[in-house]
Structure 1
Amino acid sequence: MWLHAYESFRTYKDKVKFYHDQKLMKRTFHPGDLVLLFNSRLKLFPGKLKSKWSRPFMVKRVYQSRAVELESSTEDDQQRRWIVNGQRLKHYVGGDVEQFASVMMLVDP
């Protein structure tokens, strides 16, 4: 009976892992890409309008273990580099966005 419960649990666990792995997005980063860094410290201070993602950083180097070396330049022209886990990053797709507007003239009948 114990062996049957163990096998049932193992089958359930494999199915849940397969379902979860299907939902994961594979992200590949290349040197020169702009990325956003997840800031886990903001979880301590909940707020609706606080962003969990830090400003865009530039990828300098990507390691085989999916670690990524980031570079940040500040207003003082100091370059700061550090290595983070690639799972804490997402691509930055911001920048200048063109906005189109259409004008409709309404006339009373």
Structure 2
Amino acid sequence: MEHKAYWALKFLNFDEALLGQKRKLQLLELEEMRLNAYESSRLYKENVKAYHDKKLLKKDFRPGQQVLLFNSRLKLFPGKLKCKWCGPFTIKEVKPYGAVELFDPESETLDRTWIVNGQRLKLYHGGNIKRLTIIMQLQDP
């Protein structure tokens, strides 16, 4: 049986040694393509990171300034026209690496402060801001 398979391969001009070399070359080409894909992906990620880092604005805050805070967790009433900026708040202290300590000058207790990321703040230039106060009555079902 093996003898017939050998002659069938010979008849079709298949050489096992050449087929083995061709298969090794195909595997090497595949490995090279995989490595090129990793390199291309790494370069793409570096370029995207550089682009986004370039778009970040450096914000210099000082204690005593008034700022507005972006409230990204306000999801009770979804809508495009709802203002997600709340405040104004006063900066108590600017910490390293962009952290800012805020306090609300209109609250009853002036000792209540919290720390937020400086990227969530923008300077308040004055004007009236309606403070959103919502009272929701929750009932047991």
Q: If the TM-score is normalised by the length of the shorter chain, which range does it land in? A: 0.7 to 0.9
1:32 matched to which residue of 2? 64
Partner of residue 61 from structure 1, selected from 84, 88, 93: 93
Seen in structure 2, the aligned counterparts of structure 1 residues 18 and 65 have a Cα distance that, compared at 3 Å, is: closer
The count of residues paired between Structure 1 and Structure 2 equals: 95
* Deviation digits for residues 17-38 of structure 1 (CA, Å, limit 9, x no counterpart): 1111121111111101111111
TM-score by length of 1: 0.76
| AA aligned opposite 1:83 | I
CA deviation digits over 1:59-103, x for unaligned, max 9?
Answer: 010111321111112264x2131111212111112238xxxxxxx
Shift of 1:40: 1.4
Report percent identity of matched pairs.
62
Superposed structure 1 runs of 4+ greater than 2 Å apart: 73-76
Between 1 and 2, higher relative CO (CA 8 Å, sep ≥ 6) is seen in 1
The structure with more helix, counted as a fraction of residues: 2
Bigger Rg, structure 1 or 2: 2
TM-score normalised by L of structure 2: 0.60
Evaluate the alpha carbon distance shift between residue 81 and residue 4 of structure 1 in structure 2; reply closer, same or farther with a 3 A threshold. same
